[in-house]
Structure 1
Amino acid sequence: MKSAEELQQKLYFLLERLQEMARKLPLQYQQRMPYELLSGLANCLLNETIFKIVEGLTEIQQVTEKQLLQQRLKLLHRHRAEKKSLAKKSPESVTEIEEEQVATHPVELKQADMNLILQLDQLVADQQGTLEKAGVPGFYSTSNPQEIQVQMYLLDFILKLGKESDNNSS
């Protein structure tokens, strides 16, 4: 168990680092990170569990993004194969169904991309909910792009501080 003095020193260190990182942001985002938010975040980060939660959410996001990319690449590969197959045939032997299939590729790709975006939006909402339940200041459910950008900066801060913490303890 850390002494009160050690916790106080760690709190000051975390707050100082958060303020340094916030000062490097574009002005419009600096203004969205008042002292109270950074102070609350520093206090919250005294609990090492928050670093583990953010690491876990990051891993889940990376796996999900890879899976979604693979889905998209698979669809593009199928489209390419269908076009190639059609190109090899003589114009007389191409059926109407095959022509329609290739003609719908842009629509199919757009629908797939919209589905990917919805899945990513759901992932963001899940992350926001998890961090809000964990009591991390600045996190709540929102679809406002500016607020999401602020949350992304806060996540970046947490990840950087988590790495610094790992480096200092090893």
Structure 2
Amino acid sequence: MERYTGAFEEAVDGARQQERHYQLLSALQSLVKELPSSFQQRLSYTTLSDLALALLDGTVFEIVQGLLEIQHLTEKSLYNQRLRLQNEHRVLRQALRQKHQEAQQACRPHNLPVLQAAQQRELEAVEHRIREEQRAMDQKIVLELDRKVADQQSTLEKAGVAGFYVTTNPQELTLQMNLLELIRKLQQRGCQVQPAKLVEDTARPKPCEAQRNKEHKRYPWPSDIQGQGWGIQGRK
């Protein structure tokens, strides 16, 4: 009797899994229609079906949320480092300007041209140093963000999420960002009035988690960094 009961429960569980898979797949197919046609063509039925399977138990939703939190903290830290460097440069320029003004005020008129020429050379040297330090900082930021991209890709690949592997190909990166956007939209749908129609509670993010998705700040990166585009949230 117990054997038949166990078989029945397995059959019921299998039917529920199939129903959840169908619901997720249908939701993904609907969301894909919002993407550019060039990417719609690349997201085949098989890819979407595999993605829906990966989302069944809710683990991937939690992974994506965790990666988003890490991305946000990384961007915040790097952005603050850049602001501190800019502030140091501003203080340096102000101090140099004041130093030059005081020197000119104390200088004899006939020595002023020589002093001004020396000050111009000093100013150019300082500006060169500032540009080099800013360039080095921006390179550091891009490299760190690229490492986070690879971490995200590797984590999601290991989690069995379709379409994810470590790559720097711009088209593949854009496709992966679109896949992540589909997952995040499913998270947000899970917080609507009748979430059970999409997926059971065990596979649905908590409302506070999906709400945090909306609250993450987008940092005003300069165009050379912004143009890289990266991660779950992307830099737009």
Task: Give the TM-score taking structure 2 as reference length.
Answer: 0.66
What is the distance in 2 between the residues matched to 1:47 and 1:58?
Answer: 19
Find the counterpart in structure 2 of residue 10 from structure 1. 20
Question: 3-state SS of the aligned residue for 1:138?
Answer: coil
Question: 3-state SS of the aligned residue for 2:190?
Answer: helix
What is the distance in 1 between the residues matched to 2:100 and 2:148?
Answer: 46
For the aligned residue pairs, the C-alpha RMSD in angstroms reads 2.1
Q: 2:164 aligned to 139, 146, 154, which one?
A: 139
Aligned pair count reads 170
Find the counterpart in structure 1 of residue 61 from structure 2. 51
Identity %: 42
Find the counterpart in structure 2 of residue 152 from structure 1. 177
Q: 2:188 aligned to 127, 141, 163, which one?
A: 163
Are 1:122 and 2:147 matched, yes or no? yes
Q: 1:70 aligned to 62, 66, 80, which one?
A: 80
Q: 2:126 aligned to 91, 95, 101, which one?
A: 101
Higher helix share: 1
**What is the deviation of 1:99?**
5.5
What is the distance in 1 between the residues matched to 2:31 and 2:189?
Answer: 13
**What is the deviation of 1:161?**
1.2
Q: Name which of structure 1's ranges 63-72 and 100-109 shifts more when overlaid on structure 2.
A: 100-109
**What is the deviation of 1:17?**
1.1
Are 1:61 and 2:71 matched, yes or no? yes
**What is the deviation of 1:163?**
2.9
Contact 1:41 1:136 in 2 (8 A): yes
Amino acid in structure 2 at the alignment position of 1:120 = L
Are 1:110 and 2:151 matched, yes or no? no
Moved over 3 A (4+): 91-99
**What is the deviation of 1:97?**
6.2
Amino acid in structure 2 at the alignment position of 1:14 = L
**What is the deviation of 1:20?**
1.3
Q: Name which of structure 1's ranges 115-124 and 31-40 shifts more when overlaid on structure 2.
A: 31-40
What is the distance in 2 between the residues matched to 1:79 and 1:160?
Answer: 42
Q: Name which of structure 1's ranges 84-93 and 4-13 shifts more when overlaid on structure 2.
A: 84-93
What is the distance in 2 between the residues matched to 1:163 and 1:99?
Answer: 53
Contact 1:82 1:102 in 2 (8 A): no
Q: Name which of structure 1's ranges 84-93 and 143-152 shifts more when overlaid on structure 2.
A: 84-93
Amino acid in structure 1 at the alignment position of 2:133 = E
Q: Name which of structure 1's ranges 98-107 and 150-159 shifts more when overlaid on structure 2.
A: 98-107
What is the distance in 2 between the residues matched to 1:3 and 1:66?
Answer: 43
Find the counterpart in structure 2 of residue 26 from structure 1. 36
Unaligned runs of 5+ in 2: 1-8, 105-118, 196-200, 207-236
Unaligned runs of 5+ in 1: none
Task: Give the TM-score taking structure 1 as reference length.
Answer: 0.90
Amino acid in structure 1 at the alignment position of 2:66 = G
**What is the deviation of 1:79?**
0.7
Change (3 A) 1:18 1:43: same
1:135-157 deviation per Cα after TM superposition (whole angstroms, max 9, x unaligned)? 11110010001101111111111
**What is the deviation of 1:103?**
2.8
